[in-house]
């Protein structure tokens, strides 16, 4: 099992009480997306993994849209930490 390098950014006590927070969920989805992307580079015809990747991307995008509407500062901070692009639809 690969250790998630992004979760180590969050302190341990916050991780235990906030594992349902939007930031933590986006961290875990980003980790899954990166693992699936590297898998699909090797296995280009794995269509079920491609479908799973699209579903996870959609879920992460929904969470990011929610966060951008509720708290723009937290959204910008999260985007910067994860080094992902901002949503085009605004």
**24-82 belongs to which CATH class?**
mainly alpha
> pLDDT tens, 29-60?
999 999 999 999 999 999 999 999 999 999 99
pLDDT, tens digit, 9 for 90 and up, residues 62-89: 999 999 999 999 999 999 999 998 877 6
Alpha-carbon distance of 18 to 74, in angstroms, equals 15
Distance CA 39, CA 47 (A): 12
Band of residue 19 on the pLDDT scale cut at 50, 70, 90:
confident
Report yes or no: 3 and 27 within 8 Å, Cβ to Cβ.
Answer: no
Could you tell me the pTM of the whole model? 0.79
User: In three state form, how does the secondary structure of 1-54 look?
Assistant: CCCCCCHHHCCHHHHHHCCCCHHHHHHHHHHHHHHHHHHHHHCCCCHHHHHHHH
């Amino acid at each position: 099992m690969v250790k998630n390098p992004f979760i180590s950014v969050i302190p341990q006590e916050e991780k235990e009480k906030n594992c349902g927070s939007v930031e933590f969920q986006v961290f875990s989805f980003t980790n899954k997306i990166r693992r699936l992307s590297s898998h699909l580079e090797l296995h280009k015809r794995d269509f079920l993994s491609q479908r799973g990747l699209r579903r996870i991307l959609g879920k992460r995008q929904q969470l990011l849209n929610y966060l951008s509407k509720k708290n723009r500062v937290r959204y910008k901070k999260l985007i910067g930490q994860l080094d992902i692009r901002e949503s085009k639809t605004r």
